[in-house]
Chain A
Amino acid sequence: MSRPTDALLQIPLSSLNQYAYCPRRCYLIHAEGEFKDNVHTVSGTLEHERVDQSESRGQVGIRIEYALSVWSDSLGLSGRCDVVEFHPDGTIYPVEYKHGKRKQWDNDDLQLAAQALCLEEMTGKPVIRGAIFHQQSKRRREVLITEALKQAVREAVPRIRTLLNGAIRPPPLQGADTKRCGECSLRDICEPELAGADPTLSALAKSLFEPEEDLP
């Protein structure tokens, strides 16, 4: 098994998003390297779309950084922000780009808050707000980086680190949460439909060496 020195100390920012969505998805992507439909393609697409989509365009004096590397040594986090706006009044404003429409869960907010924590640690300045830009609806949704959201990040990070350093795949989502499986790109690898297969497998395994006497 992995030696302590091999352990993952810095976890990727995007793992927060995955973890909030589904711990198993997080494990498959970040511990097992299974990835379909790459996030890193986003920064490339942004180059083409930023002119049309930035709502801050036209505002004088705003410096925009694309695909900015950010990190937090105290939390052990690192990753990239799609967009960070540096306003003339000193406001730092991260914007996370998402392909789809707004979803029902706040995994995006958690990821944005983690970016805010990194930016705060790097610059020493508070990050009060940020936004999620939904490419499909071309809408920006502003998110207030509350203390509660920051606390959620601080609590999730060590849990994710333990998960990713371990050798156990978490089980697929259960109950009402399984509705998320429908739009998950890793569905094929995850096979949530097999989550309930254990009783069937056990029953079949038990009678495997007892062929039925269904002779004509």
Chain B
Amino acid sequence: MTVLQNTLYVTTSEAYLRLEGETVCVMIEDQKRLQVPLHHLSAFVLFDHVMLSPALLGRCAEDGRSVVWLNRSGKFSARLEGPVSGNILLRQAQFRAAEDGAQTLRIARAVVAGKLRNSRQVLMRGARETDDGDEKEALVRTAKLIANQVRKIPLAEDLDTLRGLEGDAARLYFEALPKVMKPQARAEFPFDCRNRRPPRDRFNALISFLYALVLSDCRAALETVGLDPQLGFLHAVRPGRPALALDLLEEFRAPLADRLALTLINRGQLQAGDFDEREGGAVLLNDKGRKTVIAAYQTRKQEEITHPVLKQTLPVGLLPHWQARLLARYLRQDVAHYVPYLYR
């Protein structure tokens, strides 16, 4: 059984990480601030300018540890690549499926169904928890509308139609989502639609950052399994775009990112002071806010759930990994279907 190991997130710019025996030392301004055994870590996520010693880089490449650099808002900037891992026969099967229109559509439909069903689940949970009758009704209404979109998925005969269904459902979802927020938090987190590049309100800044964290985990999961994260099915190939990682991200957006964002806001763990507003209206999490979000995400990853297919309990953090494995299985024709993770 795969074990969930820790990811070391380093948010301090100019930090220097070096290998000392079998441990990693985090040096900040020539002072040792942290020392962790290497065997407890499976990945490094480094924000901004964080340096690794050549010895540590070499060791990570050798052991297949994922090392990813993100910019301050969580946007991907670089990663370490060791020897090409995984099985060429699997990648060959992935490339063949991507060339096959019917196969591509089948997988893309499953991806969209996963995304829509899971976002619907977030709204229904909000409906169960609210005391306001009107808002409950509005949430239920949107959940029904999204269910209708899900039912149309098998009828979508091409990717554009499918993306249209997805877009319509996403708009409905984000319009309803503020109602899942506690009324007292809404003044600090006003939002009415999804925006990005850059995000223009606190909620959008928060979910953008969380999507970046989950995407990084999806990408690492695909690479570990031996799939090529750049060749997707719903997401078209574009240089530098991790299309398959974005496909995998879809089913996890609502349960891993949106739900966590709402919890952090509803519990008052994040406030306006955790964000910086830039000249012109862009909004970003600041250092303090980022640390809170990362810590909450790490905790969430340790929570145990029962996987509907594996029928065993596993930590939430391994969900991307297991879904990547199920996808690999499907592509190798070991199983007849790819089924996304369905959040309950």
* B134 smallest CB distance to A (angstroms): 14
User: Do residues B334 and A169 form an inter-chain contact, with CB atoms below 8 A?
Assistant: yes
Q: B120 an interface residue at 8 Å Cβ cutoff?
A: yes
User: Do residues A201 and B150 form an inter-chain contact, with CB atoms below 8 A?
Assistant: no
Using known A-B contacts A201-B339, A209-B150, determine if residue A194 contacts B117 with beta carbons closer than 8 Å.
Answer: no
Q: A60 an interface residue at 8 Å Cβ cutoff?
A: no
* B295 smallest CB distance to A (angstroms): 29
User: Do residues B1 and A194 form an inter-chain contact, with CB atoms below 8 A?
Assistant: no
Name the B residues within 8 Å of A214 (CB-CB): 124
Q: A148 an interface residue at 8 Å Cβ cutoff?
A: no
Name the A residues within 8 Å of B337 (CB-CB): 201-202, 204-205
* B149 smallest CB distance to A (angstroms): 10
User: Do residues B335 and A197 form an inter-chain contact, with CB atoms below 8 A?
Assistant: yes
User: Do residues B140 and A211 form an inter-chain contact, with CB atoms below 8 A?
Assistant: no
* A196 smallest CB distance to B (angstroms): 9
Q: A188 an interface residue at 8 Å Cβ cutoff?
A: yes
Interface centre among A32, A188, A208 (most CB of B within 10 A): A208
Contact of B339 among A33, A34, A167, A204 (CB under 8 A): A204
* B148 smallest CB distance to A (angstroms): 9
User: Do residues B309 and A188 form an inter-chain contact, with CB atoms below 8 A?
Assistant: no
User: Do residues B87 and A208 form an inter-chain contact, with CB atoms below 8 A?
Assistant: no
- Nearest-neighbor residue (CB-CB) of A193 within chain B: B310
User: Do residues B89 and A167 form an inter-chain contact, with CB atoms below 8 A?
Assistant: yes
Q: How large is the interface on B (under 10, 10 to 19, 20 to 34, 35 or more residues)?
A: 35 or more
User: Do residues B332 and A169 form an inter-chain contact, with CB atoms below 8 A?
Assistant: yes
List which B143-187 residues lie within 8 A (CB) of chain A: 143-144, 147, 150-151, 153-154
Q: B49 an interface residue at 8 Å Cβ cutoff?
A: no
Alpha-carbon distance A169/B310, docked complex (angstroms): 21
Alpha-carbon distance A204/B127, docked complex (angstroms): 25
Using known A-B contacts A191-B325, A216-B124, A216-B136, determine if residue A201 contacts B113 with beta carbons closer than 8 Å.
Answer: no
Contact of B124 among A31, A193, A215 (CB under 8 A): A215
Using known A-B contacts A188-B2, A215-B144, A216-B140, determine if residue A197 contacts B150 with beta carbons closer than 8 Å.
Answer: no
User: Do residues B329 and A211 form an inter-chain contact, with CB atoms below 8 A?
Assistant: no
Q: A200 an interface residue at 8 Å Cβ cutoff?
A: yes
* A20 smallest CB distance to B (angstroms): 23
User: Do residues A188 and B1 form an inter-chain contact, with CB atoms below 8 A?
Assistant: yes
* A175 smallest CB distance to B (angstroms): 19
User: Do residues B325 and A208 form an inter-chain contact, with CB atoms below 8 A?
Assistant: no
List which B300-319 residues lie within 8 A (CB) of chain A: 308-312
Interface of B is mostly: helix
User: Do residues B309 and A204 form an inter-chain contact, with CB atoms below 8 A?
Assistant: yes
Alpha-carbon distance A210/B147, docked complex (angstroms): 8
Q: A6 an interface residue at 8 Å Cβ cutoff?
A: no
Name the A residues within 8 Å of B143 (CB-CB): 215
User: Do residues B127 and A216 form an inter-chain contact, with CB atoms below 8 A?
Assistant: yes
Q: A155 an interface residue at 8 Å Cβ cutoff?
A: no
* A67 smallest CB distance to B (angstroms): 26
Alpha-carbon distance A201/B310, docked complex (angstroms): 10
- Nearest-neighbor residue (CB-CB) of B116 within chain A: A211
Contact of B312 among A188, A193, A201 (CB under 8 A): A193
Name the A residues within 8 Å of B136 (CB-CB): 216
Alpha-carbon distance A216/B128, docked complex (angstroms): 6
User: Do residues A209 and B154 form an inter-chain contact, with CB atoms below 8 A?
Assistant: yes
- Nearest-neighbor residue (CB-CB) of A204 within chain B: B339
Name the A residues within 8 Å of B140 (CB-CB): 215-216
User: Do residues A32 and B154 form an inter-chain contact, with CB atoms below 8 A?
Assistant: no
Q: A177 an interface residue at 8 Å Cβ cutoff?
A: no
Q: B61 an interface residue at 8 Å Cβ cutoff?
A: no
Name the B residues within 8 Å of A215 (CB-CB): 124, 127, 140, 143-144
- Nearest-neighbor residue (CB-CB) of A34 within chain B: B87
17 A-B Cβ contacts within 8 A? Answer: A167-B89, A191-B325, A193-B312, A197-B335, A198-B335, A198-B336, A201-B336, A202-B336, A204-B337, A205-B336, A208-B110, A209-B151, A210-B151, A211-B150, A215-B124, A216-B124, A216-B136
Binding site for A on B (CB under 8 A): 1-2, 87, 89, 109-110, 113, 117, 120, 124, 127-128, 136, 140, 143-144, 147, 150-151, 153-154, 308-312, 325-326, 329, 332, 334-337, 339-340, 342
Binding site for B on A (CB under 8 A): 31-34, 167, 169, 188, 191, 193-194, 197-198, 200-202, 204-205, 208-211, 213-216
Query: Sorted from nearest, which 3 A-B pairs have the closest CB atoms?
Result: A205-B337, A204-B339, A211-B147
